[in-house]
Copies of this chain bind each other. A is one copy, B any other.
Amino acid sequence: MKVKVGINGYGTIGKRVAWAVNKQDDMEIVGVTKTRPSYESSTALREGHPLYAAHAEDQENFDKAGVKTQGTLDDLLGKADVIVDCTPGGFGEKYRPIYEKAGVKCIFQGGEAHEMAGVSFNALANYHEAWGAPSVRVVSCNTTGLVRTLFPLQQAFGVQKVFASLVRRAADPADKKGGALNAVEPSLKLPTHHGPDVKTIMHGLDIQTMAVVTPTTLMHVHCIVAELKSTVTEKDVLDTWSSSPRVKLISGKDGVKNTGQIMELAKDLGRARGDLMDIAVWKDGVKVVGNTLYYYQAIHQESDVVPENVDCIRSMMKLEKDNLASIERTDKAIGLR
């Protein structure tokens, strides 16, 4: 029997998680919620996902537009083993008691606080911490990106200290909100929350972060300085990442110089929606000076957490003990390998 998964909030992340869940053979989507009819609710129906109104009062919006729903979130909770909360950041807290009352396990996204969920999750680094847990947070796109490349370094060489500058995209491509159109804005509250967030996964890591928002929609880019505990070569580092899951080595020499070209590469690779769920690291942008490693990586904010949500379901529902086995299963099913 497949694990029954509901999605609360069928938007940028929600629709991708729904798609990825349905590609697996041990879980399936039993419904998704939406607050009003739109092209995205049409997408849900086209994909075969039962559609639910998020709240009773949203039902009217659907009725007016002649869009049939299967009920509300409460009805969906009655059918699901686990609910993936993909509502906007901060909303999860409001929904948590509802999920709890319904006795349904729940996964939150990185816009929520660690404390609220109790466990923060990355499939490679701490899969076991979510084992059987009632509620777990899949960390944000940026934190996921940092852990994907730092954890293998820590395993292989030890990491003394990390500093990262995050050059953030201001909005998603289809988002009407966002930062200033032609300006750069730093995150003045220092250190930014990204460092502490990484530590919810890689406990005890010495990491500091700064961040600026820039007028681009495609990807975040990180400039990372890592002081390692052992002397390494650039080749050692690249070899480590080559064998790490969900890290993709790219190269300026091959014409993949900027984030626009990375997105083009993802399309060329035939990836669904043109997403790049891997973290892209520039091979020719890796430099070691003494024990210090410098590297650049790019994060597809809309999709890198998607396979993490799938693995998180597996760990919470005790479907698979071994994290690497889960990762491989997830990735094969969605075309990452």
Binding site for B on A (CB under 8 A): 15, 37-40, 42-43, 46, 163, 165, 167, 169-171, 173-176, 178-186, 188, 190-191, 208, 210-219, 221, 223, 225, 250, 252, 254-261, 263-265, 267-269, 273-274, 282, 284-287, 289, 292, 294, 296, 298
Contacts and interface: CB of A to CB of B under 8 A. Distances in A.
A259 B185 contact: yes
A225 B292 CA distance: 15
A208 B259 CA distance: 24
Contact of A268 (B15, B184, B190, B219): B15
Contacts of A188: 252, 257, 282, 284-285, 296
Instruction: Give the oligomeric copy count.
Output: 4
A257 B185 contact: yes
A39 B268 CA distance: 8
A23 to B, nearest CB: 13
Smallest CB-CB A-B distances: 10 pairs: A183-B260, A165-B165, A174-B264, A190-B287, A185-B258, A38-B255, A214-B214, A43-B268, A183-B258, A188-B285
A39 B255 contact: yes
Contacts of A264: 39, 173-174
A183 B254 contact: no
Contacts of A252: 188
Contact of A184 (B15, B167, B286): B167
A260 B186 CA distance: 12
20 contacts: A39-B256, A39-B264, A42-B268, A46-B268, A173-B182, A173-B263, A174-B180, A174-B263, A175-B260, A179-B181, A182-B216, A183-B259, A183-B260, A184-B214, A186-B282, A186-B296, A188-B284, A188-B296, A191-B294, A273-B274
B217 A214 contact: no
Contact of A167 (B167, B273, B285): B167
A217 B258 contact: no
B171 A210 contact: no
A37 B225 CA distance: 31
A183 B252 CA distance: 14
B268 A40 contact: yes
